[in-house]
């Protein structure tokens, strides 16, 4: 018999999504059942993000929304976990938004979630357990994947880079790499379970292994080994830091059988002066040289990026350098953000904070340019036949399937549900800014 139902509300990046998949696996293992109906769930888990202020606002307003519901049904358990929880002084804020939160659990001990929820449901106690020290990384935890044929695989946890705007090193701890044997065993087990595509996850995948004694444990070596695993169709990874992306890595991808020709390479800014203030440890010229090396080895590779506008001290001239870099690279896609000050980071204390209106104006101008490039890049696919891993049916029409190319392009085409989880050949007939449409040819 089920112990009760649980519902996840997950914010933030793929790391958080994957943590939620593991927590869901642990809860299911202990006899709880998933539901997609938040209002009916016995347990609601909010996995939070604090990368920008907006992400935090979303969590606090959801907690406010849930407050009435919990008052009406005191047996409902609300749990809050994830990056936001690891910040100083956050517990009183959470309690203020929703005094009935029963469990607050950190990023280093989330694997105790099922045990804690069992206890709370038995004794109705309130638990708050936020370790500040990184705990040992547990292996072989059960997961509940969103897709049976796609999976995330952690390779590193935490981050040592301390970009001056970023909160991640403070809330996720120092960088820790998993053993290569454990990673490859997990991939093999996933493939045996029907997985065709894996995504290796780390804040900076290129520094994988730097903290291990094993001289063979480095990212190009890991990719090369994974590429040999029979039955695995696609290997993706994120995120690459430009300071650590090597020619060896580019060559491994270019020469591989299954590593997608797609690199997400966050540049953050086009001005070398701003990059230095961000502590990114590369220049605009270095970034452009990397792009050239990638294009030389893989002319058809897709490149995407993250950009921050309005970093403290960013002048209009600095911003023009970002626009210039975007024009020179021609990204397939990009995520652009207005700089958001984060408590405890060096950039928060810098003088010359940029007014919100100015940040919004720069963001709008940058987004226009990025959309122009995305359309242009998509138009280059017109008439071509691409291999698509079919994800599911489109939201608006169940006869339309949606999938992705190895370069990460979303492709819509007519077909039936049996194709989900398989690779299809699709000829591209129309190109829009964010999607391609086509017809299946095989």
Compute how many other C-beta atoms are within 10 angstroms of the C-beta atom of residue 86. 21
**Number of Cα atoms under 13 Å in the Cβ half of residue 403:** 29
Q: Could you please report the per-residue DSSP string of 420-439?
A: TTSEEEEEEEEE-SSEEEEE
By a kind-dependent CB cut-off of 5 to 8 A, residue 411 interacts, out of ligand F3S, ligand SAH, ligand SF4, none, with none
By CB under 6 A, is residue 267 in contact with ligand SF4? no
Q: Quote the least distance from Cβ 86 to ligand SAH, whole Å.
A: 15
**CA–CA gap between residue 284 and residue 322 (Å, rounded):** 9
Token digits for 351?
A: 């003088």
By a kind-dependent CB cut-off of 5 to 8 A, residue 162 interacts, out of ligand SF4, ligand F3S, ligand SAH, none, with ligand SF4
By CB under 6 A, is residue 11 in contact with ligand SAH? no
By a kind-dependent CB cut-off of 5 to 8 A, residue 12 interacts, out of ligand SAH, ligand SF4, ligand F3S, none, with ligand F3S
Site string for ligand SAH, 174-213 (x = CB under 6 A): -----------------------------xx---------
Specify the 3-state DSSP secondary structure of 102. coil
Q: Report in angstroms the alpha-carbon separations of 280 from 78, 96, 197, 276, 327.
A: 38, 37, 30, 6, 21
Tell me which residues in 184-203 interact with ligand SF4 (CB under 6 A).
203
By CB under 6 A, is residue 51 in contact with ligand SAH? yes
Token digits for 284?
A: 């605009």
Tell me which residues in 306-365 interact with ligand SAH (CB under 6 A).
306, 308, 337, 339-340, 342
**CA–CA gap between residue 374 and residue 383 (Å, rounded):** 17
By a kind-dependent CB cut-off of 5 to 8 A, residue 340 interacts, out of ligand SF4, ligand F3S, ligand SAH, none, with ligand SAH
Q: Dmax over Cα atoms in the chain, in whole Å?
A: 64
Tell me which residues in 167-226 interact with ligand F3S (CB under 6 A).
168, 171-172
Asked whether residue 159 is marked as a ligand-binding residue, the answer is: yes
By CB under 6 A, is residue 251 in contact with ligand SAH? no
Asked whether residue 13 is marked as a ligand-binding residue, the answer is: yes
- Residue closer to ligand SF4 by CB (options 159, 249) is 159
By CB under 6 A, is residue 166 in contact with ligand SF4? yes
Nearest to 259 by CA among 241, 238, 290: 238
Nearest to 42 by CA among 84, 81, 83, 78: 78
Number of residues that bind ligand F3S (CB under 6 A): 11
By CB under 6 A, is residue 241 in contact with ligand SAH? yes
Is residue 48 within 8 A of residue 8, CB to CB? The reply is no
Contacts made by residues 84-87, CB under 8 angstroms, sequence distance 24+: 84/48, 84/49, 84/50, 84/55, 84/56, 84/59, 84/171, 85/48, 85/130, 86/130, 86/132, 86/170, 86/171, 86/172, 87/50, 87/167, 87/170, 87/171, 87/343, 87/344
**CA–CA gap between residue 307 and residue 323 (Å, rounded):** 10
By CB under 6 A, is residue 166 in contact with ligand F3S? no
Q: Quote the least distance from Cβ 159 to ligand SF4, whole Å.
A: 3
Specify the 3-state DSSP secondary structure of 103. strand
By a kind-dependent CB cut-off of 5 to 8 A, residue 337 interacts, out of ligand SAH, ligand SF4, ligand F3S, none, with ligand SAH
Near ligand F3S by CB under 6 A, which window of 45-53, 94-102, 319-327, 421-429?
Answer: 45-53
Number of residues that bind ligand SAH (CB under 6 A): 17
By CB under 6 A, is residue 239 in contact with ligand SAH? yes
Single out the residue of 27, 83, 187, 253 in contact with ligand F3S (rule: CB under 6 A): 83
Judged by the rule CB under 6 A, the positions of this chain that interact with ligand F3S are 12-13, 15-16, 49-51, 83, 168, 171-172
Known binding residues for [4Fe-4S] cluster are: 13, 49, 83, 159, 163, 166
């Amino acid at each position: 018999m089920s112990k009760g139902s649980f519902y996840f509300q997950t914010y933030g990046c793929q790391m958080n999504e994957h943590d939620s998949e593991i927590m869901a696996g642990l809860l299911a293992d202990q006899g709880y059942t998933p539901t997609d109906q938040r209002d009916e769930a016995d347990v609601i888990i909010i996995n939070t993000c604090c990368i920008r202020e907006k992400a935090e606002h979303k969590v606090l307003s959801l907690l406010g929304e849930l407050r009435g519901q919990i008052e009406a049904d005191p047996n409902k358990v609300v749990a809050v976990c994830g990056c936001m929880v690891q910040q100083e002084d956050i517990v009183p804020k959470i309690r203020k938004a929703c005094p009935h939160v029963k469990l607050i659990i950190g990023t280093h001990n989330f694997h105790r979630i099922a045990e804690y929820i069992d206890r709370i449901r038995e004794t109705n106690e309130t638990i708050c357990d936020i370790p500040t020290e990184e705990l040992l990384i547990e292996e072989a935890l059960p997961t509940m994947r969103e897709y049976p044929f796609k999976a995330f695989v952690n390779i590193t946890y935490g981050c040592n880079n301390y970009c001056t705007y970023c909160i991640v090193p403070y809330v996720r701890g120092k960088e820790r790499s998993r053993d290569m044997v454990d990673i490859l065993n997990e991939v093999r087990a996933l493939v045996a379970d029907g997985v065709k595509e894996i995504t290796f996850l780390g804040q900076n995948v290129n520094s994988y292994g730097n903290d291990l004694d094993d001289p063979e444990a480095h990212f190009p070596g890991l990719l090369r080994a994974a590429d040999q695993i029979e039955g695995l169709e696609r290997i993706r990874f994120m995120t690459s830091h430009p300071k650590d992306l090597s020619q060896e890595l580019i060559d491994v991808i270019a020469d591989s059988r299954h590593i997608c020709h797609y690199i997400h390479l966050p540049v953050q800014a086009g001005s070398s002066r701003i990059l230095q203030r961000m502590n990114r440890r590369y220049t605009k010229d270095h970034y452009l040289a990397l792009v050239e090396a990638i294009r030389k080895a893989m002319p058809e590779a897709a490149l995407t990026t993250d950009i921050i506008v309005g970093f403290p001290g960013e002048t209009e001239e600095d911003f023009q350098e970002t626009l210039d870099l975007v024009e020179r690279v021609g990204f397939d896609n990009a995520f652009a953000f207005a700089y958001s000050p984060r408590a405890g980071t060096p950039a928060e204390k810098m003088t010359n904070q940029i007014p919100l209106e100015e940040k919004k104006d720069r963001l709008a101008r940058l987004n226009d340019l990025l959309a122009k490039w995305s359309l242009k890049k998509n138009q280059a696919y017109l008439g071509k036949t691409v291999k698509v891993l079919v994800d599911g049916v489109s939201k608006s029409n169940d006869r339309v399937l949606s999938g992705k190319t190895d370069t990460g392009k979303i492709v819509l085409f007519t077909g039936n549900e049996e194709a989900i989880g398989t690779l299809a050949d699709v000829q591209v007939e129309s190109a829009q800014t964010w999607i391609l449409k086509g017809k299946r040819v095989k």
